[in-house]
Amino acid sequence: MNETLLNILAQVSEQMGFLTPLGPADGAVPGDLCIAVRFRGPSAGLVLLAASRPLAEALARNLLAIDAGDPVADADAVDALKELANIVAGNCLPQLLQDGEYHLESPQAAAWNAGGELAQLSCAEGELAIALQVD
């Protein structure tokens, strides 16, 4: 578990996603949704962010101010997770890799691929996992 990656994930989830981080998780990587953000700059590679469905729905509710009783559309859950992935990626690259100017491509739905630096976070709303992979 990469502590820096875990701390950035927890901080962004709380500040931007209004989620409630509880601490590191060590179970299976949540397999419901996964987003990839490809980057290039001083280093090139991929940030993967995986989430359980309940967490992605809670994130969408928080970001879009969707009432608790109303359903969350699949597209809203995916777009909310894309924005979280984008912000986490932008914050972790200069801290974990060489400092400099990074270009982040638009986040895309992807399949989880374990490798590189990893962290898993348990939140009151569900689980998150992140991987930072350098080409």
Minimum Å gap between C-beta 36 and another protein is 14
Minimum Å gap between C-beta 48 and another protein is 17
Residue whose CB is less far from another protein, 38 or 122: 38
| 44-69: b (≥16 Cβ within 10 Å) or e | ebbbbbbbbebbbbbbbbebeebeee
Are 130 and 119 within 8 A, CB to CB? yes
Residue whose CB is less far from another protein, 2 or 91: 91
Minimum Å gap between C-beta 87 and another protein is 5
Are 87 and 16 within 8 A, CB to CB? yes
Q: Which residues of this protein are in contact with another protein, per CB under 8 A?
A: 11-12, 15-16, 60, 63-65, 76, 79-80, 82-83, 86-87, 89-91, 93-94, 99-107
What angle is formed at CA 53 by the lines to CA 107 and CA 17, rounded to 5 degrees? Answer: 60
